[in-house]
Structure 1
Amino acid sequence: MFKKPNRAKNIRQPVIANTPLKSKADKKKTKKSLGLSFDQQDEDDSGEVFQVKKSKASRKMATERKLHLPESSGLTANTQEMPSTYNDDYLASLRASTPALPTSLKHTMTTTTDDDDSALLAEKFPKTMNARLGGVAIPDSNAIHAAKKKRELLRQGVVMVDNEQDFIDVEATTGSRLVREEDDVGDDGEGEFEQYVGQQITLDKDEAKKQEQAQRQDAQDMILDAQEDDDSDSDDQMDRWERDLIKHGGVRAKYEEQVVDPYATPRGYKPALVPDASPLPSLDDVLKRLDLLSTDITYSMRQYESQLSDAQKGMLDLKIPLLEQLENETHDIIAAKQQIVQDRRWLDDMDLLLSFASVPGHLLETDEDVTMDEFGRTPESKFSETSRNRRQGERQDRLQKHSGWTDEADAKETAYWSDDELQGGWLEKKDQKLDDIEGPKLDALLEDVGDEFRTLEAVKSYFEAWKTEFYEDYKNAFGSLSLPAAFEFYVRCELVTWDPFSNPLEFDAMKWHATLSSYGIVDGLEGHEDADIELLNKVVEKVVLKRIKNLLDTMNPVSSQETRYAVHAVEQVSYYVEKHEHPFQDLMIQVEKMIEKPLLRYAALTESATLLANEPHSNKQQFIWRQLKYLKNLALWRRYIPKDSLLSLGRLIVHRIVMPLLRPHVIPGDTDLENEALALCARLE
């Protein structure tokens, strides 16, 4: 930032004492000075002149120069006193009498006229060549040592006094010279230091303070000058850069953002068209019309809200628990037959299995077989010889009563017989109980219900009136969503004694189906049936499908007749509920569990059974054919049970129930049984 000032040359000047010599007595009376001064003009005549002490080598070189001065030199030592002042005439005479070269070098030039290079070097660098001895071309060690010492003193800032009498410095001011790179290397900033510190050491406080203030002022002036020069340079460069851009066309027009007035009219604004004034109705007419509308709406809403509350809260909350009791009673009657048939088939199969294999006793006995009665007696084992003989006799009696059957000709058909007929008038008792539920008990349930809510047709008429007369209110109140819940009670009353596995019925032949199929269809009106077109589907999903699922545990999976009836009922459900929907898939899962439950019980026995040595082959055939009956019935479910689940049930029968009892490599008859089982299982794929 600061400009580097010119370094002052340390030019040696001859110092000549102007003060005459005094005696020793006068020297003792000389008053001591407190300060040192390098300027002779500012000091009194009585003061001493400060002279720099020269080193020993420097004094020796000066002596040698005086000794070797040539005798022919026309210059004589100037021993006269120098005047205290200089004028123009005196300076002109000095310039005329000053030689171009020092006296010591002139002799060298005259003696060695043939050495042009040495003369040229001496002319260009006289100070350096002064260190040479007279008549010697190459400096010796003393000259080299003197030159080094002089350079060291110059670096330390000591002012050298030239003792040569023939050299007079004509210029009073220091000049500048070209700064070379080698000069900057040895520069330690002496010139700058002298410029700020000063060349005099002042012991007077006031004078030192003035010098310090002057130095600070000079430093501030230099800083301001440097800043002004820097600013002027940067301004000049910026102006030159702008002129170049303008000259070469590189200046873009400054984009000025348009100021938008928020209160100004927008561009493209079109005023709104003001309609023509129309007469306003009177306040009384408007109030009367609103009163009529509100009255009609309030009346209709209250009417149908009361009807719905009576139908759903007042009556249904009380009647549905009673209806569930009737449904549970019907379920127990139907399930009683299934339990009797299932236990009888289990005991007959165990009699056949124990005739050709041994089974661990803990797998046969149940908790009921070891329970003692009130007198502490244990009932007779169901697998005792007496019980086995009694069951065989009862089975033969049932076979003889069954028309078209013989003892030996139809052994395979006998094994496939489900044997689900009950004796002793049990079927008549069952029908009587179901008729009692459907007749007197159901009438007693609806005895205190008015005629307007007693039947499904009466409730349907109210909803149809609401829909046809106040369709917007019906639509906004989501009346279609409440229909399945409102009709559910009456459909369940009609199906309270329905057994889908022994009394198959078509859905469209039922009374509730005929009543609800015409709901929402009114002659002359179109579009009102759109929201209620799914009514039958919702009723089947909510009522009929749930009823079939609750009765699955009463089905006999071995009976081909009941299996066909069950498949027929599921097929009718699929007409109203899609197979991929969750309710239908849940129904199929329950069917799989119902079929798998007895099979797992048989698999646990056959896997732990041990075949006897002298096994009766006929009993083994009967047992295996009775188990293959499950495979034949599984084929009827192929359209509804997933294929993977169906194959899993088939492998359970073949690999865990049938195969552990066969030895085809030992008994030839077992090969036929194995092939038959594999063929039935392949039909499931």
Structure 2
Amino acid sequence: MFKRNKPKHSQRARISTPDPDAPPAHEEKGGEEAEESPIAIAAKLKKKTKTRTKPKTTLSFGGEEEDEGEAFKLKKGVLSKKLTLSKSAGVAPTELDIPQLSTGPTYDAAHLSQLKASTPSARPPQPTDSYDADVSMDVDSPAQLSALSAIADDQGETAIPSASSILAAKQKRERIRSNKGGDDYISLSLSKRDDFSQGPHPESRLMREDDELGDAADEFAEYTSAQERVALGKKSRKQEAQKRRAEMNEMIVDAEEEDEETKEWEQEQLRRGGLREESVEPAAKPMYKAAPIPPVTPIPTMGAAIARLTQSMSELTTSHAQHSASLSKLGEEQRLLEQRETEMRDMIAKAEEKRSWFSAFREWMESVATFLDEKYPPLEKLEEEHISLMKERAEMIAQRRRAEDTDDLALFLGTPPSLQPQAEEVDDLGRTIPSANSPAARANRASARDARRVRRRAANQQRKAEEEQGYSTDASLPPGDADDYRTAMGRLLADAKDIMADVKAEEFKDPSVGLAKWFGEWRTKFADIYTGAWGGLGMVGAWEFWVRLEVLGWNPLERPRSLDSFGWYGSLYQYSRPAEDDEEDEPELGPDGDLVSAMITTALIPRLCRIIEGGGLDPYSAKDIRRLVDLAEEIEVSVDKQNQKFELFLKSVYTVFDAAVTETEMALTPFLELNQPRFDPQAIPARRRFLTRRHKLLRNILQWRKYAGDRYGLGNLATRLVASSMLPVAESGWEVGGEDIMRKVAQALPAELVPPSLKSLRI
């Protein structure tokens, strides 16, 4: 990727050993060069070193073949010319010369004689002129070696110094080097060694090519990032990026360019290495060749032709049958594919229709949820108000009934200390504050009771006065309170209508138009999803609001009304039976089953339980018990008697009866503990009235037990009422009416519920 711009370094020339048979070098250059001393040579070397330039890359393509034309000539410097040896001297070729291929060394007689004559047999005499052995041993260049060889040849013999002389010369040289200030020391180097880097081997006198030319830090600075600068600013970084892209583009362009000289050199090296053929022989010229004459073919006979045609016909018939079968199979596959495509298209259309319908259904249900979130709070508030009104009315009746029982008990058992009349209290204006148990209050209650009895007698002349004494539990309110109660109930019903006053959409006013329509479409179009998701129960949960709104303010024991008279009952009945059969009187139920029973279980029974426990049921009223039994039988038609919600309904009724018995026991306990009867003409009718009220409560409990069974201990409750409340009071006046009433009680009770003390009265 990176192109080398500078020339390659030339290899260092190999120092060749002078041949003793070769003519001295000083004969070629003249007598003046032969007589040059080592000092003169060193001066010349110093002068030439200053003007030395970097060697240039030289290429040698050889010139061994004579048929290649003119050989390439290498230009050499003055110093290289001094190292050039004559070809006739027989010296070893340098690295630049191409070695001649030879099979091996030759040892003929002429060569051996010449070699023996050139080998010295004795030590040469010492030179007479001034020859410095130290200088001669320090050969710094090939030029000095050539000069020394020329001096030795001029003396006539080759001088080989002995080992002792070499050692002495080395020691002298070392002493002179250690004392550079002497006059006899002449340095052969042109510069001090300390001025340059010593390299990895500072003790060695040999110089590497890298040390001579430098460490190439400046030469290759552009490749080693030595000249790079870190850009800190935004503008400088942008310029550096542009410069880097330009350099990369330039390198790519340089890499794509072809250097003709380099390509020619590579091809020449391939040719010299034998990797490429010298020449390619031209292809032989095509010669004309006549077409061969086909052999003679005999004329086919009729039988062979018929047999061949028959075989071809059978093969064609078989192939046609196979192709026909393949076509039939492909046609059937195409038909199936088209049918499958049609089915897939239908599935896609149905899926899209299903998605769009459910998307609209989800949006509508979200609007219904928003509507219910807004309307449920006022509905629940009105339901609580209705329960509070019934509780207030029931508490008023129960309080008046407790006051009457207290007055009757005080007449025949005496007044306990806690109920003694207190002194009259006077307020700040001097008015007397009436006391609850004062004689005046008792007289007022008695007169009010007599007035109500007169009104009832006038309304029903067929009932005897005796039967009304005690059997009439006085469950009616005074005229003023009754009017207030009717006014409050009317205001409650008006508020119930105001809940839907701002609703204009018919599908929100009538659930049979909205809920029944959407859920009916869901059941018709996607029956499997509707059944799996229990869509009917979901619709019942959403329809519950309209059912509770419709039954708001309704007390089934005060205003008897059948369930099928409500609008929600008929709508759910029709929705649960979508397919009507003319042959059958009763339509068949749909996949949801009877949703009327689900609605009664979900919404109606919990509401009835709250009404009964909130004061809607009067345990002393036989009329309420008859209506309650009718309501339970109507609910039982739709809901199983073993259903958990129906069990809650039965438990609510038991709770009301248990509260009445407990209240009687609590009211009777202080009087029984006192038990101080006094002579009073009103004591006998008072005891009869008290026992008659309890007898009526017992009859209501037994009547409800006859329908509901002995659940939650209704039988034990009846036995407890007789043993703890009625029998002690009857024994206090057994001869004056107590025996007669207890005989009626014993006959009304089932045999298993009669206390042991009353079994004799059943005879």
TM-score w.r.t. length of structure 2: 0.48
Q: Does 1:603 align with 2:665?
A: yes
Instruction: Give the aligned partner of residue 104 of structure 2.
Output: none
Following superposition, the deviation at residue 482 of structure 1 comes to 0.5
1:201-240 matched pairs, under 5 angstroms: none
The residue identity in structure 1 corresponding to 2:623 is: Q
Following superposition, the deviation at residue 445 of structure 1 comes to 3.5
Q: Does 1:393 align with 2:447?
A: yes
Q: Is the 8 A contact 2:665 2:724 kept in 1?
A: yes
Q: Find the residue that maps to 2:557 and give its secondary structure.
A: coil
Following superposition, the deviation at residue 356 of structure 1 comes to 1.1
Q: Does 1:646 align with 2:701?
A: no
What are the superposed Cα offsets for residues 541-566 of structure 1, whole Å, 9 maximum, x if unpaired? 11111111010132211111122222
CA, structure 1 residues 374+561, in 2 after alignment: closer, same or farther (shift >3 Å)? farther
Following superposition, the deviation at residue 649 of structure 1 comes to 1.7
The residue identity in structure 2 corresponding to 1:531 is: P
Q: Does 1:655 align with 2:723?
A: yes
CA RMSD of aligned residues (A): 3.7
2:626 to 561, 564, 588: 564
Following superposition, the deviation at residue 389 of structure 1 comes to 1.2
Q: Is the 8 A contact 1:634 1:684 kept in 2?
A: no
Q: Is the 8 A contact 2:548 2:603 kept in 1?
A: yes
2:609 to 534, 549, 564: 549
CA, structure 1 residues 348+668, in 2 after alignment: closer, same or farther (shift >3 Å)? closer
Q: Does 1:478 align with 2:528?
A: no
Following superposition, the deviation at residue 531 of structure 1 comes to 2.2
C-alpha distance in 1 between matches for 2:752 and 2:551? 34
Q: Does 1:348 align with 2:404?
A: yes
1:367-446 matched pairs, under 5 angstroms: 380-404=434-458, 410-439=465-494, 441-446=496-501
Following superposition, the deviation at residue 376 of structure 1 comes to 14
Q: Find the residue that maps to 2:457 and give its secondary structure.
A: coil
The residue identity in structure 2 corresponding to 1:401 is: R
Following superposition, the deviation at residue 496 of structure 1 comes to 0.5
Following superposition, the deviation at residue 571 of structure 1 comes to 1.7
1:55-70 matched pairs, under 5 angstroms: none
Q: Find the residue that maps to 1:344 and give its secondary structure.
A: helix
CA, structure 1 residues 524+444, in 2 after alignment: closer, same or farther (shift >3 Å)? closer
Q: Does 1:590 align with 2:652?
A: yes
CA, structure 1 residues 619+426, in 2 after alignment: closer, same or farther (shift >3 Å)? closer
1:577 to 639, 643, 667: 639
Instruction: Give the aligned partner of residue 562 of structure 2.
Output: 506
The residue identity in structure 2 corresponding to 1:612 is: Q
The residue identity in structure 2 corresponding to 1:642 is: G
Q: Does 1:318 align with 2:397?
A: no
Instruction: Give the aligned partner of residue 698 of structure 2.
Output: 631
Q: Is the 8 A contact 1:646 1:684 kept in 2?
A: no
Deviates more, 1:599-608 or 1:354-363: 354-363
The residue identity in structure 2 corresponding to 1:549 is: C
Q: Is the 8 A contact 1:631 1:650 kept in 2?
A: yes
Instruction: Give the aligned partner of residue 196 of structure 2.
Output: none
Instruction: Give the aligned partner of residue 686 of structure 2.
Output: 619
The residue identity in structure 1 corresponding to 2:475 is: D
Alignment size in residue pairs? 407
1:447 to 502, 505, 517: 502
CA, structure 1 residues 472+674, in 2 after alignment: closer, same or farther (shift >3 Å)? closer
Q: Is the 8 A contact 2:412 2:687 kept in 1?
A: yes
What are the superposed Cα offsets for residues 404-427 of structure 1, whole Å, 9 maximum, x if unpaired? 479x96234221002122233544
Q: Is the 8 A contact 1:579 1:585 kept in 2?
A: yes
What are the superposed Cα offsets for residues 348-374 of structure 1, whole Å, 9 maximum, x if unpaired? 110000111136455899xxx999999
Structure 1: runs of 5+ lacking an equivalent? 1-274
C-alpha distance in 1 between matches for 2:483 and 2:476? 12
The residue identity in structure 2 corresponding to 1:399 is: R
1:29-40 matched pairs, under 5 angstroms: none
Instruction: Give the aligned partner of residue 349 of structure 2.
Output: 292
CA, structure 1 residues 567+370, in 2 after alignment: closer, same or farther (shift >3 Å)? farther
CA, structure 1 residues 377+578, in 2 after alignment: closer, same or farther (shift >3 Å)? farther
Q: Is the 8 A contact 1:483 1:535 kept in 2?
A: no
What are the superposed Cα offsets for residues 624-652 of structure 1, whole Å, 9 maximum, x if unpaired? 11211101212321344332622112112
The residue identity in structure 2 corresponding to 1:414 is: Q
Q: Is the 8 A contact 2:601 2:639 kept in 1?
A: yes
CA, structure 1 residues 530+409, in 2 after alignment: closer, same or farther (shift >3 Å)? closer
The residue identity in structure 2 corresponding to 1:641 is: A
Q: Is the 8 A contact 1:662 1:670 kept in 2?
A: yes
The residue identity in structure 1 corresponding to 2:698 is: L
Q: Is the 8 A contact 1:607 1:660 kept in 2?
A: no
Structure 2: runs of 5+ lacking an equivalent? 1-327, 754-763
Q: Does 1:330 align with 2:398?
A: no
Q: Is the 8 A contact 2:522 2:530 kept in 1?
A: yes
Following superposition, the deviation at residue 440 of structure 1 comes to 5.2
The residue identity in structure 2 corresponding to 1:336 is: E
The residue identity in structure 2 corresponding to 1:388 is: R
Following superposition, the deviation at residue 319 of structure 1 comes to 1.0
C-alpha distance in 2 between matches for 1:364 and 1:327? 41
- Indicate the structure whose relative CO is greater, using CA pairs within 8 Å and at least 6 residues apart: 1
Following superposition, the deviation at residue 500 of structure 1 comes to 0.8
TM-score w.r.t. length of structure 1: 0.54
C-alpha distance in 1 between matches for 2:624 and 2:719? 23
1:160-239 matched pairs, under 5 angstroms: none
